[in-house]
């Protein structure tokens, strides 16, 4: 069983000391899905929601949150993000918005949490922008797709069945 890096010898949570680690180029890609009912999806797609341009707000919310991931996640290190990109693709067949974030930094620890937090915030912003029309909007499947850099190297989520 692998050693847990965020626990001390007594099992108490701790922040990992990354001071001795080499700074390398890190990248992480995360994705999440927001599912809408018929009316909310139509209004979102047509940019006719009462609160305004939900896709623009969600992109900005994701970018802003990704830059502040260490404020959301207690043991996450503050990282000087070099690039954080957020895309939202609409899927008419599923009445869904697929949110994808890519985070990059040259640092001594990875950027997975920054990408995941960016996706979570963008998904929550889409919920907030559409909740007046439909409370049943669902945020689902927030997941890491890939990461690269650092001692553990590259990882990619296996293709689903």
Q: Which tens digit of pLDDT belongs to each residue from 6-63? A: 666 666 776 666 666 677 899 999 999 999 999 999 999 999 999 999 999 999 999 9
Q: Which of 8, 89, 92, 128 is catalytic?
A: 128
Closest to 89 (Cα-Cα) out of 141, 31, 155, 25? 31
Q: Rounded mean pLDDT of 134-161?
A: 91
Domain containing residue 128: CATH number: 3.30.70.640
Task: Examine residue 9 and state whether it is found in any structural domain, yes or no.
Answer: no
Q: Rounded mean pLDDT of 84-95?
A: 98
Task: Examine residue 10 and state whether it is found in any structural domain, yes or no.
Answer: no
pLDDT at 161 over 80: no
Query: What is the reported pLDDT for 20?
Result: 64
| Domain around 116 | 24-149
* Spatial CB neighbours of 130, under 8 Å, sequence gap ≥ 6: 36, 40, 43, 44, 49, 54, 137
C-alpha separations of 126 from 31, 50, 63, 76, 140 in Å? 14, 13, 14, 25, 12
* Spatial CB neighbours of 150, under 8 Å, sequence gap ≥ 6: 21, 24, 26, 109, 110
Q: Which residue has the tokens 């830059």?
A: 67
Number of C-beta neighbours around residue 130 at 10 A: 25
Task: Examine residue 79 and state whether it is found in any structural domain, yes or no.
Answer: yes
Task: Examine residue 160 and state whether it is found in any structural domain, yes or no.
Answer: no
Query: What is the reported pLDDT for 114?
Result: 97
Q: Using an 8 Å Cβ cutoff, are 32 and 105 in contact?
A: no
- CA pair distance 102, 126, nearest whole angstrom: 18
Query: What is the reported pLDDT for 28?
Result: 98
Chain CA centroid to CA 53, Å = 20
Query: What is the reported pLDDT for 4?
Result: 54
- CA pair distance 139, 121, nearest whole angstrom: 11
Q: Which comes out higher in pLDDT, residue 5 or 26?
A: 26
pTM above 0.75, yes or no: yes
Query: What is the reported pLDDT for 22?
Result: 75
How many domains does the chain divide into? Answer: 1
Q: Which residue has the tokens 């937090």?
A: 117
Q: Supply the mean pLDDT for the chain.
A: 91
Quick check: is 89 catalytic? Answer: no
Task: Examine residue 98 and state whether it is found in any structural domain, yes or no.
Answer: yes
pLDDT at 68 over 60: yes
Task: Examine residue 39 and state whether it is found in any structural domain, yes or no.
Answer: yes
* Spatial CB neighbours of 40, under 8 Å, sequence gap ≥ 6: 130, 133, 134, 137
Query: What is the reported pLDDT for 109?
Result: 86
Which tokens belong to 56? Answer: 């623009």
Task: Examine residue 159 and state whether it is found in any structural domain, yes or no.
Answer: no
Instruction: Find residue 25's DSSP bridge partners.
Output: 106
């Amino acid at each position: 069983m692998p050693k847990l890096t965020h626990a001390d010898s007594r099992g108490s949570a701790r922040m990992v000391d990354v001071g001795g680690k080499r700074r390398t180029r890190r990248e992480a890609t995360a994705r999440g899905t927001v599912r809408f009912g018929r009316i909310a999806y139509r209004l979102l797609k047509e940019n006719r929601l009462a609160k305004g341009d939900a896709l623009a707000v969600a992109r900005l919310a994701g970018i802003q949150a990704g830059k502040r991931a260490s404020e959301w996640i207690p043991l996450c290190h503050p990282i000087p993000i070099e690039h954080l990109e957020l895309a939202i693709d609409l899927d008419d067949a599923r009445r869904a918005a697929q949110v994808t974030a890519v985070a990059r930094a040259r640092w001594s620890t990875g950027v997975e949490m920054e990408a995941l937090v960016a996706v979570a915030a963008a998904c929550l912003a889409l919920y907030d922008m559409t909740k007046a029309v439909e409370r049943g909007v669902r945020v689902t499947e927030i997941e890491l797709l890939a990461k690269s850099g650092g001692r553990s190297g590259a990882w990619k989520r296996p293709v689903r069945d």
